[in-house]
Amino acid sequence: MKSQKDLTTGNLIPTLLSFSLPYIIANFLQALYGAADLIIVGKFCDNSTVSAVATGSQLLQTLVFFITGLTVSATVLIGKAFGAKEYDNIIKIINTMSVCFIIAAIFLSSIIIIFDNSILTLLQTPDEAMTSTLKYVRICAVGLIFIFAYNSISAILRGLGNSVAPMYFIAVSCVTNIILDIILVWKYSLGAEGAAIATVISQALSVIIGIIYLRKGNFVFKFKFRNVKFDIKTAKELFKIGLPLSLQDTLIPLSFLFLFSLANSFGIAASAAYGSVIRLNAFMMLPAGSFSMALTALTAQNLGAGKIDRAVNALKLSILFAFSFGLIFFLWQQLAPESAIAIFSNDKSVLEQGKLYLKSFSFDYLLVPFVFCLNGFFFGSGRTAFAALNSISSAFLIRIPVAFLLVTTIKNSSLYHIGIAPPCASIFAICISIFYLIYLVKNDKIIYN
């Protein structure tokens, strides 16, 4: 396995698919990693524990999105430097990123541990699930340092054109998490607490393996973990690109947390159903998300090498491939939504509530490929501020107001009405992105300076 790969040469379709496939597998494993907690808890615990893990993991997932947003900035800068063959700059980016993200991890962990009770109250966590949710969140908050480290290592490798190694890291971690879930949740009956412990241990293992790989891999330069130097100019670049992404990736899940709070207001069955659908969507959205992430690195390398046409063609192909998956998922949820919810729960009330939501929400599977891939292209070109503003606007001007209005104004409203809001937001985001892309092409401004 090559430690790095040049994405600026060769036939574009095989290059895109070979680079994207490990992303898809890795993201599938990442989704399975998170879903394992909910699946195993759903089989061996009551609905209050399912609700606890669903609510707690959704909160933690919001933080993961924040972290991912920051680390994508490293993928963009490293990809651009690698495409331009500026290897000394790559080392500077990695060193600066390491210092910044360690500090950020400690800060975030502290915030969550201090304010966890208040945050969960705002989310309208059901009273019977509050104690278990607090245990889950506090344990997982301690493991945020490992989430930062894993995503940082993956961002470095993907910027260098290596999407295979992160797939192996998460594969080992996923298997470990499932085994520990079974032992701690089923055998020792630790419930949400056991699921959280399994998650943190598994994350730590992926980091250890990643560090070993960086030290032993065959790169065009050597990774040095001694005498790490901090460069203020590089830090500004990282945060200039990363903060808009983090803001987007934090606020967008917050908009879904608002939807979660609306779902919680319908009772414990609706709460468990919505939490199950969130886990399901982690799988359904992963092809679009994977092509978007692959496109980010591919765009960064090609624009760094001055190959604009190749980057634009990669965008078109990514949308086509992602939409093919979205169409399959849409048809599945329209024809047999109960079969998907049954993966997480056998409770009839949960199945019925989940079916209501998926019937309306599933239209988003047809729209998200456009949203994600256009964003991936903008990320790779360094235009994270536009992409973030567009996504945040669609969430807070469309998704939240539409959901709130439908739930509060329609008599006997249900999860079905909440599910209408996300597709509406996606349509808005697509329109804005297309207009902006046309502007960039017409004015020859694809490459960001």
Q: Is 5 a member of any domain?
A: no
Sign for the CA dihedral angle at 119, 52, 151, 249 comes to negative
Residue 4 is predicted with a pLDDT of 66
CB 22 within 8 A of CB 213: no
Q: Is 2 a member of any domain?
A: no
End-to-end CA distance of the chain: 34
Q: Which residues of the chain have pLDDT under 70?
A: 1-4, 33-34, 219-228, 447-449
Residue 374 is predicted with a pLDDT of 94
Residue 223 is predicted with a pLDDT of 63
Residue 190 is predicted with a pLDDT of 84
d(CA 218, CA 220): 7
- Angle between the 47-83 and 12-44 helix axes, to the nearest 10 degrees? 160
Residue 71 is predicted with a pLDDT of 82
What's the number of domains the chain is made of? 1
Residue 440 is predicted with a pLDDT of 86
Residue 43 is predicted with a pLDDT of 77
CB 166 within 8 A of CB 157: yes
CB 157 within 8 A of CB 209: no
Residue 237 is predicted with a pLDDT of 84
CB 420 within 8 A of CB 401: no
**Which structural domain, as residue segments, surrounds residue 139?**
12-442
Mean pLDDT of all residues belonging to the chain: 84
Answering whether pTM is above 0.75, one says: no
Hey, what long-range contacts does 265-269 have (CB within 8 A, 24 or more apart)? Answer: 265/124, 266/353, 266/414, 266/415, 268/47, 268/48, 268/51, 268/126, 268/128, 268/129, 269/47, 269/347, 269/349, 269/350, 269/352, 269/353
CB 321 within 8 A of CB 376: no
Q: Is 314 a member of any domain?
A: yes
Residue 286 is predicted with a pLDDT of 82
Q: Is 6 a member of any domain?
A: no
